[in-house]
Amino acid sequence: MSLTVTNLTVRYGGREVLRDVGFALEPGAFCGLIGANGSGKTTLLRTILGFETPSAGRVERDGTVGYVPQKLQIAADMPVRARDLVALGLDGHRLGFSWPSAGRRRRVEEMLASVDALAFADQRVGELSGGQLQRVLIAHALVSGPKLLLLDEPLANLDLRAAAEIVALLKRVAGQGVTVLISAHDMNPLLGAMDRLVYLANGRAASGRTEQVVRTEVLSELYGYHIDVIRVHGRILVVAGNAEAHHHHDHDHVAAIP
């Protein structure tokens, strides 16, 4: 397994943010981490990264990890080009002044090309559009050759086209054997690509293969609201259902899906 999370519990100031969360991902899996804002997605990712210490349970990772954070607030004037940010993913932790080398430059160019970012490689990071910045951040995360890639809401604030292109790019990355765990509050942009899904609600997690979870009865149970799963032109869409069909569900009883 590329990532195994076992009975994970995380508390902040006495409040249980994650409770008894468990799932496992195989190498090359493309997994969506879905949940409403505040459901604990970022906390789970930060605990997997080792930024947070769990109260109980454990995280086992195979190999190095790449990370794309939710926010990167860079001033437009910051003198850092897209290629500089990618290069920092290669050796940003090393001491000593780095002199330009042909090998380093080639590796950065290859990574920029692999995410279709060569066209804006010399632009300042602070001047990139949302979609361009996500590509560069993904290249930054992948340039060191991680086995696991974690992305925190990378599709937030992207238009439909940019979101679809980022998802297609991540699917390609997963196809190369990198396990991808991507958090999102809206699962629709991911439905055609993800093969596994971890759903977080009230600190509990349900996980399973996409076709097991993305069903009207399962999602309605998880969301505590009637959810319709619609098939249009061979594609699946998840939409909030009719308000009259609302049913109250207790999130505390979310169960793991086999």
What's the full length of the chain, in residues?
A: 258
Cross-strand pairs, 59? 5
Among 3, 44, 125, 200, binds another protein (CB under 8 A): 125
User: Can you spell out the DSSP letters for 83-125?
Assistant: HHHHHHHHHTT--SPPPP-HHHHHHHHHHHHHTT-GGGTTSBG
How many Å from the N-terminal Cα to the C-terminal Cα in the chain?
16
Among 17, 21, 85, 238, binds another protein (CB under 8 A): 85
80 binds another protein (CB under 8 A): yes
Among 61, 81, 196, 226, binds another protein (CB under 8 A): 81
CB closer to another protein out of 44 and 213: 44
Asked if 205 contacts 23 with a C-beta cutoff of 8 angstroms, the reply is yes
Among 44, 65, 167, 197, binds another protein (CB under 8 A): 65
Cα 233 to chain centroid distance, Å, stands at: 27
CB closer to another protein out of 32 and 131: 131
CB closer to another protein out of 96 and 234: 96
Cα 88 to chain centroid distance, Å, stands at: 21
Q: Which stretch binds another protein (CB under 8 A): 10-18, 53-61, 114-122, 233-241?
A: 114-122
- Residues in Cβ contact with 195 at an 8 Å cutoff, skipping those fewer than 6 apart: 29, 30, 31, 209, 210
Q: Which residue stretches of 92-215 are H helix? A: 102-114, 130-142, 160-175, 210-213
Picking from 238, 236, 213, the residue whose alpha carbon sits closest to that of residue 227 is 238
Among 75, 113, 168, 255, binds another protein (CB under 8 A): 75
CB closer to another protein out of 67 and 199: 67
CB closer to another protein out of 16 and 165: 165
88 binds another protein (CB under 8 A): yes
Among 20, 62, 127, 228, binds another protein (CB under 8 A): 127
> Which residues are near another protein by CB under 8 A?
49, 51, 65-67, 69, 72, 74-75, 77-81, 84-85, 88-89, 91-98, 116-117, 119-120, 122-125, 127-129, 131-132, 135, 140, 159, 161-162, 165
